[in-house]
Structure 1
Amino acid sequence: MTRTISSLSTLHLQSSGDQKGHPYMAAHADKLGTSASGRSNSPWWKDAVVYQIYPASFKDSNGDGMGDLRGIIESLDYIKSVGADTIWVSPIFESPQVDLGYDISDYEKIHAPYGTVEDVEDLIHSCHAKGLRILLDLVVNHTSDQHKWFIESRSSRTNEKADWYHWRDGKVGEDGKRAPPNNWRANFGGSAWEWDDVREQYYLHLFSPEMPDVNWSCLAAREAIYASAMRFWLDKGIDGFRIDTMTIYYKPLDFLDAPISEPDSRWQPGWRQYRNNPAVFEIHSDMYSKVWSHYGDLLLVGEYGNTSDTSLALKYCSASANRVGMGFQFESACLGYEMCRFKVDEWDLPAFKRPFAKWQQFIEGTDGWTSAFAENHDLGRSVSRFGCDNPSFRQASAKMLATLQVTCTGTLFIYQGQEIGMTNIPSTWPIEEFKDINTQRYWAELVNSSASEAELVEARRAVGLVARDHSRTPMQWSAESHGGFTTPNANPWMRVNDNYVDINVEAQSKQPNSVLGFWKLLLDVRRDYVKVFAHGTFRYIDVENKQTITYVKEYDGEQALVVCNFTASEQDWEIPEELTSLKLAVCTEVKTVAGILQPFEARIYL
Structure 2
Amino acid sequence: MMKKKNWWQEAVVYQVYPMSFQDSDGDGIGDIGGLTQRLPYIKRLGADVIWLNPIYCSPNKDNGYDISDYRNIQPTYGTMAQYDEMLATAHKLGLKIMMDLVVNHTSDQHEWFIESKKSKDNPYRDYYIWHDPVDGQAPNNWGSFFSGSAWKFDEATGQYYLHLFADVQPDLNWENPVVRNEVWDLMKFWLDKGIDGFRMDVINLISKEAGLPDIPKPDNAIYADATAVANGPRLNEFLQEMNSKVLSHYDVMTVGEMPGATPEKAQEYTNLSGNELNMVFQFEHVALTPNPDERLTKWNDEKIKLTDLKASLSKWQLGLDGKGWNSLYWNNHDQPRAVSRFATDDPKYRVKAAKMLATTLHMLQGTPYIYQGEEIGMTNVKFDDISQYEDIETLNAYQQFVLEDKIVDKETMMRYFATMSRDHARTPMQWSTEENAGFTTGKPWFNLNPNYTDINVEASLEDDDSVFYYYQRLIQLRHESELIVYGSYEAIDPEDNEVFAYRRHYNGQTLLVLSNFTDRDVVRDYGQRNAKQCLISNYDDDQSDQLRPYETKVFLFQ
Residues 450 and 201 (structure 1 numbering): CA distance in 2 closer, same or farther, change over 3 Å? Answer: closer
Separation in 2 of the partners of 1:429 and 1:536? 46
2:449 is matched by which residue type in structure 1?
N
Q: Which residue of 2 aligns with 1:444?
A: 399
Contact kept, 8 Å, 1:257 with 1:270, in 2: the verdict is no
1:213 aligns to what? 171
Aligned 8 A contact 2:98 2:199 in 1: yes
Aligned mate of 2:40, from 71, 77, 81: 77
Superposed CA deviations along residues 78-105 of structure 1, whole A, max 9, x for unmatched, are 0011110110100000000000000000
Does the alignment pair 1:587 with 2:550? no
Q: Which residue matches 1:416?
A: 372
Q: Deviations over 1:207-249 (max 9, x none)?
A: 0000000000011111112112x11111100010001111110
Inter-CA distance 98–385: structure 2 relative to 1 (3 Å threshold) = same
Paired residue for 2:504? 553
3-state secondary structure, aligned to 1:361: helix
One-letter code of the match for 1:356? Answer: L
**Distance in 1 of aligned mates of 2:319 and 2:326:** 7
Q: Which runs of 5+ in 1 are unaligned?
A: 1-36, 173-177
Secondary structure at the residue paired with 1:113? helix
Partner of residue 90, structure 2? 127
Where does residue 325 of structure 1 map in the other structure? 278
Pairing 1:101-140 to 2, within 5 Å after superposition: 101-140=64-103
Task: Give per-residue Cα distances to partners, 1:537-590, cap 9 Å, x unaligned.
Answer: 11123221110011111111122111000001111123427x713322211014
Matched with 2:525 is 574
User: Once the 2 structures are TM-superposed, how far is the Cα of residue 60 of structure 1 from its aligned partner?
Assistant: 0.3
How large is the Cα RMSD of the aligned pairs?
A: 1.9
Separation (CA, whole Å) in 1 of partners of 2:322 and 2:124: 45
Query: What's the TM-score once normalised by structure 1's chain length?
Result: 0.88
Kept in 1, the 8 Å contact 2:145–2:226? The answer is no
Partner of residue 359, structure 1: 316
The whole-number CA distance in structure 2 between the counterparts of 1:98 and 1:120 is 23
Give the deviation of 1:383 after TM superposition. 0.2
Deviation at 1:331, TM superposition (A): 1.3
1:187–1:340: 8 Å Cα contact kept in structure 2?
no
DSSP-derived class of the 1:551 partner: strand
Indicate the residue corresponding to 1:204 in structure 2: 162
2:354 counterpart letter in structure 1: A
Which residue does the alignment assign to 1:243?
200
* Alignment CA distance shift 1:237-1:321 (3 Å): closer
Distance 1:289 1:591, change over 3 A: closer
- C-alpha separation in 1, matches of 2:119 and 2:109: 16
| Identity across matched positions, percent | 40
> Do the aligned partners of residues 455 and 582 (structure 1) sit closer, same or farther apart at CA in structure 2, a change above 3 Å counting?
farther
SS of corresponding position for 2:409: helix
Deviation at residue 592 of structure 1 after TM alignment = 4.0
Looking at structure 2, the residues matched to 227 and 467 of structure 1 have their Cα atoms a distance apart, in angstroms, of 35
Deviations along 1:356-388, one digit per CA (max 9) or x if unpaired, are: 11122233342x111111111111111001110
Aligned partners of 1:363 and 1:212: how far apart in 2? 33
Q: How many Å apart are 1:282 and its aligned residue?
A: 0.7
TM-score normalised according to structure 2 size: 0.95
Deviates more, 1:493-502 or 1:552-561: 552-561
Does residue 342 (structure 1) correspond to residue 295 (structure 2)? The answer is no
1:422 shift after superposition: 0.3
User: Per-residue displacement from partner, 1:171-203 (whole Å, max 9, x unpaired)?
Assistant: 22xxxxx31111111111111100112322110
Once residues 181 and 104 of structure 1 are traced to their aligned partners in structure 2, the CA distance between those partners, rounded to angstroms, is: 25
Give the counterpart letter for 2:45 in structure 1.
V
The separation in 2 between residues aligned to 1:304 and 1:222, in whole angstroms, is 19
Partner of 1:65: 28
Partner Cα separation in structure 2 for residue 591 and residue 269 of structure 1: 48
| 2:131 counterpart (160, 163, 168) | 168
Residue pair 1:58, 1:474 contacting (<8 A) in 2 also = yes
Compared with structure 1, are the counterparts of its residues 381 and 445 closer, same or farther at alpha carbon in structure 2 (3 Å cutoff)?
same
Is the Cα contact below 8 Å between 1:188 and 1:340 reproduced in 2? no
Structure 1 position 187 matched with structure 2 position 175? no
**SS of corresponding position for 1:257:** coil
Q: Which of the pair has the greater relative contact order for Cα pairs under 8 Å at 6+ separation?
A: 1
Q: Secondary structure at the match of 1:388?
A: coil
Q: Which position in structure 2 is the counterpart of 1:382? A: 338
1:585 is paired with a residue whose SS is strand
* SS class of match (2:265): helix
- Cα distance change of structure 1 residues 252 and 41 upon mapping to structure 2, 3 Å threshold: closer
CA spacing shift, 1:340–1:62, aligned 2, 3 Å: farther
Asked whether the equivalents of residues 40 and 47 of structure 1 are also in contact (C-alpha less than 8 Å), the reply is no
2:490 match: 539
Equivalent residues in 2 for 1:11-22, closer than 5 Å: none
Count of residue correspondences: 552
4+ aligned runs moved over 6 Å, structure 1: none
Q: Rg: which structure is higher?
A: 1
d(CA) in 2 for partners of 1:40, 1:505: 40
Q: Contact 1:362 / 1:370 at 8 angstroms: preserved in 2?
A: no
Looking at structure 2, the residues matched to 407 and 110 of structure 1 have their Cα atoms a distance apart, in angstroms, of 37
User: C-alpha separation between the residues in 1 aligned to 2:405 and 2:157?
Assistant: 35
